[in-house]
Structure formats: structure tokens, C-alpha cells
Chains A and B, each alone.
Chain A
Amino acid sequence: MKDRLEVTTPTDRQIVMKRSFDAPRQLVFEAFTTPALLQRWLLGPPGWSMVVCEVDLRAGGAYRYVWRHDADGEQMGMGGVYTEIQAPEGIVSTVRFDDPWYRGEAVDTLVLTEERGQTKLTQTVLYESREVRDGVAKSGMEGGVAASYDRLQDILSPKSADRS
């Protein structure tokens, strides 16, 4: 049973992701905060692995992730500080990339809610400015997907627009 990922840009500085998981909140929270677990899933595009994963899980504590491109050894690092931790409900942290993928610091807010053993995740990344948020597009990620009118409809109005 595949769960659908929703990605939206409700304001000009944010990217919001929503996804449900078939697991209790406690397990999802652990998967987000335990280095051995993070390294299993928080990866980049294909061909990257996480070679550094440090987590000091407390308010004011720092975290650091470094990914390595297996083919050529290129590395990408990011890190930040936990500003708020409420296990297992959520985490607020700052995000900064070593080699500025984007300028400045972003704020990442993770919220987990549980209902009948299912966890709903909402992750909001707030960038310093619209220019920075839109600069995420120049990330150099490989591959492009040609947009079709179907995708356009999907992004503009998930429920079909009234065609009068």
C-alpha cells in the first residue's frame, strides 16, 4: 500500500511535505533521530550514502549529516541545531548546508500525529527568503522530468478545477 507524498508551497518561503506512515509515532520519531536508522533512509539521489550522522538530541544540541557520492567521492554536508524537541510529537531545528546549496539558514519543523497506529507527518522547511527558497531549484540534481499538463493540474489544484 503506497502512501502518497504531498509537497506544496503554501507561502513563498516554505516547502511543506505531508505523508502518512503505517507505524506508531514512537517508531517514526526514532527513525528520525537515531543515527543508525537515519543512515538507512535519509539519502540523496541514487548513488549517495550517508557517511557521517551525528545527533545530539537535546534543545541546543547539534546534528550533522554528510553524504558521499559513491561513484566519485564527492561529499555534501549539512547540519544545524535542535531548537525544540518534543518526543515523539515533533522537532524544530535549523538547517545549513556546508557548500551553500542555498544561502543562510532554514528552519525545519517536523510534526508527527498518530491515529489508530498510523502516523501522519508534516515537515515544513522555512527559508530565509523567497529567493533562497526558489534557489533550491538550482540544486544541480540530476535528471529532469518534463512537466505535462496533468502534473500541472495536480500541482495547481489537487481536486479537479471547476471547468465552466
Chain B
Amino acid sequence: MLSDSLNATFAALADPTRRAILARLASGEASVMELAEPFEMSQPAISKHLKVLERAGLISSGQEAQRRPRRLEPEPLAEATEWLERYRELWVANYQRLDALLEELKVAKKKNQGKGRSR
């Protein structure tokens, strides 16, 4: 269901370590060891994060016997980023109109000051 998967996605994204893991995986798959490396965190601690990401369907693990590299699954994130993008586009447009309005208000304000009105 759309909102359940979005719940899981946003819960997964709410943690900075998990966001950093996803950013790393956006450049290519990696093993647990490789993912743990930039953080001062034990592998079990990283594995906990990976489980949250896996449950949200954001990453999957390969089947290679020893390594089991994790890779990014783009669909749940596409859902999440899509709505953020649409929200963003709406507000980009609103604020651009506000920019234009503010320019008008500044000009009007200058005109009033020019007429000798005190600030």
C-alpha cells in the first residue's frame, strides 16, 4: 500500500547513518565491511541499519556466498523523492511569484519615500 511503504521509507531515511549508507550505495554495491568503514561503528551496528533499509525495500543483498553485497533498490526511493519533488515544485512556483511581488513592493516603497514620507 502506498502509504505503508512511504512510512517505512521515511522511517528508514530519518537516520543520518542510513542516509549516508544509501548515498554510498548510489555509487555502487558494497559489502557490510565496506559500508561500516567510514563510521566508527561495529558491523553488528551497521547490520541493524541494513536490516531497516532492507525491510523498507530500499536495499537488497546479492546472493554471492561470502560477500553478499548490498545494492540500492530505486523504486521506494523514487516514490518518496517523487512526492518531495512535487511538493518542492509547488513551492518553487509560489516563492517565485513572491519574488516578483516583493520587487513590486520595493519599488512602491521607494516611490513613497521619494514623496517625502518618513520611514
User: Which residues in A have some Cβ–Cβ distance to B below 8 Å?
Assistant: 2-3, 5, 7, 9, 11-12, 15, 17, 19, 21-23, 27-28, 30-31, 37, 40-46, 130-131, 133-139, 141, 143-147, 149, 151-153, 155-157, 161-164
Q: A27-B109, A28-B102 in contact; A156/B85 too (CB < 8 A)?
A: no
Q: A27-B105, A45-B90, A155-B84 in contact; A131/B7 too (CB < 8 A)?
A: yes
Instruction: Say whether B86 faces chain A, with CB atoms less than 8 Å apart.
Output: yes
Residue among B19, B79, B99, B102 with the most chain A CB within 10 A? B102
A44 to chain B: which residues have CB within 8 Å?
Answer: 90
Interface readout for B51-95 with A: 1 if CB under 8 Å, 0 if not?
Answer: 000000000000000000000001001111111111111111111
8 CB < 8 A contacts A-B? A9-B14, A12-B11, A23-B105, A137-B3, A143-B86, A145-B89, A147-B81, A157-B20
In the complex, A162 Cα to B34 Cα: how many Å? 12
CB atoms of B22 and A5 under 8 A apart: no
Instruction: Pick from A2, A19, A130, A145: contact of B82, CB below 8 A.
Output: A145
In the complex, A153 Cα to B74 Cα: how many Å? 12
User: Which residues in B have some Cβ–Cβ distance to A below 8 Å?
Assistant: 2-3, 6-7, 10-11, 13-14, 19-20, 22-24, 26-27, 34, 37-38, 74, 77-103, 105-106, 109
CB atoms of A130 and B7 under 8 A apart: yes
Closest approach, in angstroms, between the C-beta of A139 and any C-beta of chain B? 8
Interface SS, B side:
helix
Closest approach, in angstroms, between the C-beta of B88 and any C-beta of chain A? 5
B98 to chain A: which residues have CB within 8 Å?
Answer: 21, 28, 31, 41
Instruction: Pick from A42, A143, A156: contact of B19, CB below 8 A.
Output: A156
Closest approach, in angstroms, between the C-beta of B94 and any C-beta of chain A? 6
Instruction: Pick from A19, A141, A145, A161: contact of B95, CB below 8 A.
Output: A19
In the complex, A40 Cα to B34 Cα: how many Å? 52
Instruction: Pick from A9, A137, A163: contact of B27, CB below 8 A.
Output: A163
B3 to chain A: which residues have CB within 8 Å?
Answer: 131, 134-135, 137-138
Q: A137-B2, A137-B3 in contact; A7/B87 too (CB < 8 A)?
A: yes
A131 to chain B: which residues have CB within 8 Å?
Answer: 3, 7
Q: A11-B14, A31-B105, A145-B89 in contact; A161/B24 too (CB < 8 A)?
A: yes
CB atoms of B22 and A141 under 8 A apart: no
Specify the chain B residue showing the minimal Cβ separation from A123: B91
Closest approach, in angstroms, between the C-beta of B102 and any C-beta of chain A? 4
Q: A19-B95, A27-B109, A145-B89 in contact; A152/B77 too (CB < 8 A)?
A: yes
